Structure 1
């Protein structure tokens, strides 16, 4: 790819990282930026995982520094998710550009529905962990296989799947939901990235540019004050995604 594209990808990564912290759905920005720059869909699908890996590694480290870690449960959940992620990545790496666009369009429709509802968020009642620790451990691990399948396949919107499993099914409090989520994503993304890389599905220069931007965007998002314009951001973001869904599904 042309060298001038790298700073633009880094800027897209800043926006993506910022959105991931404040409103969610930032991964769409990274993937769509690459698509509009002419990077084939399957390559974009593998490449943006470099940024996801860097972002979640930073988050895991940050949680541990603040005294939040439960690596035993995190690792067992990550192992379950990784089983599905390998299968999902094997499917994702085989998609042609046209079929990837169609799959991405359908995924974005699903994400829009989730963003418009409260399904992908923890309920206020789960602000504190269920007495006695996490519950439904077997069911939670089984569902993690499915979540990993989705994450390995396309990754986008996977947070809306993890939240209900960890919070609603397993009864984990909000802080530890994110603590476990970033560890799980870090582990299975490492494995999925290896699958994509082994098939030549990663453009490393673009991935590193995105990773740099994601890190800055996340740093800015964490340090932002309570955003009064959060609803406006969501509405503008959903409008933008709706237009892109029409583009991907009907004007490939």
Structure 2
């Protein structure tokens, strides 16, 4: 058991590092849990990863908020809808087959990767003439939709939140990353509530993983704030590409 904890803590450290910058730490943590602890149900492994995820993400959200201006009047209602969506997704995980949704997400990710690569100014601040009410309606919509995805499937949620803030609300990478962290905290807390009450969390693994995820998150934030938007854009492209490979593997090769 000690060996498994050490390996998972190392993975959690790198997951926290990636998550703090652009999201997508679940691309490391979830497969690692499935490989190292195959004797447990998938729901238990999924629930366990949420503890380290919420720890690192909450810390990142706090640190970003000290360096980035957050529009709390806009963000708080979106967090609530993301939380609600995640609860609905977690409930529906037994009703909807994720393998039906994954091909759609794969196509969407490929389009996003091509667009981000070709548009050099993607992720720079773009002033959008949107009223507060319009921004709120857009935010509530993608908050619930992506929150639902997090409860249902999971990997890449933070990346999708970033994309929504950039493409729909005109925020830059740094601001979008900060906002995405708070939304991701909401969806992770919703998932923890659902999985904890049904006994699907292995705390002996989750707690030490959370500590290392926190350390990784600390380093990731330092680097993101130091390097700025250009660095985050490159990192974002890498994580989206990794997400594409992950979904392609699940769809075409995993049996």
Under TM normalisation by the shorter chain, which class is it? Answer: 0.7 to 0.9
CA distance in 2, matches of 1:186, 1:17: 13
Give, in whole Å, the separation in 2 of the partners of 1:139 and 1:105: 24
CA distance in 1, matches of 2:254, 2:170: 43
Deviation by residue 1:98-147 (Cα, 9 ceiling, x = unmatched): x77x5797598468636733469995374255467755321331222111
Q: Offset of 1:53 from its aligned partner?
A: 0.8
Q: Is the 8 A contact 1:51 1:210 kept in 2?
A: yes
Q: What is the aligned partner in structure 2 of residue 158 from structure 1?
A: 157
Question: For structure 1, which runs of at least 5 residues remain unmatched after alignment?
Answer: none
Aligned to 1:44: 45
Q: 2:113 corresponds to which residue?
A: 116
Structure that is richer in helix per residue: 2
1:182 aligns with 2:181: yes
Cα distance 1:59–1:153, how it changes in 2: closer, same or farther (>3 A)? same
CA contact (8 A) 1:63 1:69 kept: no
Using the size of structure 2 for normalisation, the TM-score is 0.76
Q: For residues 13 and 249 of structure 1, do their structure 2 counterparts lie closer, same or farther at Cα, with a shift above 3 Å needed?
A: same
Normalization by structure 1: what TM-score?
0.77
2: CA distance between counterparts of 1:181 and 1:246?
Answer: 26
**CA displacement at 1:168 relative to structure 2:** 1.9
Deviation beyond 6 Å, 4+ runs, structure 1: none
Q: Using the alignment, how far apart are the partners of 1:148 and 1:122 within structure 2?
A: 28
For 1:111 and 1:30, how far apart are their aligned partners in 2? Answer: 23
User: Structure 1 residues 110 and 59 mapped into 2: Cα distance closer, same or farther (>3 Å)?
Assistant: farther
- How far apart, CA to CA, are the structure 2 residues paired with 1:10 and 1:126? 34
* Cross-structure match for 1:69: 70
Q: Please tell me whether the aligned partners of residues 133 and 172 of structure 1 are also in contact (alpha carbons under 8 angstroms).
A: no
Distance 1:163 1:223, change over 3 A: closer
Seen in structure 2, the aligned counterparts of structure 1 residues 115 and 211 have a Cα distance that, compared at 3 Å, is farther
* Equivalence map 1:1-252=2 (5 Å): 2-21=1-20, 24-37=23-36, 38=38, 39-66=40-67, 68-92=69-93, 94=94, 109=106, 113=110, 116-118=113-115, 123-124=121-122, 126-130=124-128, 135-224=134-223, 234=238, 238=242, 242=245, 246=249, 250-252=253-255
Displacement, 1:43? Answer: 1.5
More divergent stretch after superposition (145-154 vs 158-167): 158-167
Shift of 1:156: 0.8
Q: Conserved in 2, the CA contact under 8 Å of 1:136 and 1:170?
A: yes
Query: 3-state DSSP class of the match of 1:116?
Result: helix
Pair 149,24 (structure 1): closer, same or farther in 2 beyond 3 Å: closer
1-side partners of 2:34 and 2:244: how far apart?
14
- What RMSD, in angstroms, separates the aligned Cα atoms of the two structures? 3.7
CA distance in 1, matches of 2:151, 2:47: 9
Report the CA distance between 1:31 and its aligned residue.
Answer: 0.4
Shift of the 126–156 alpha-carbon distance from structure 1 to 2, 3 Å rule, reads same
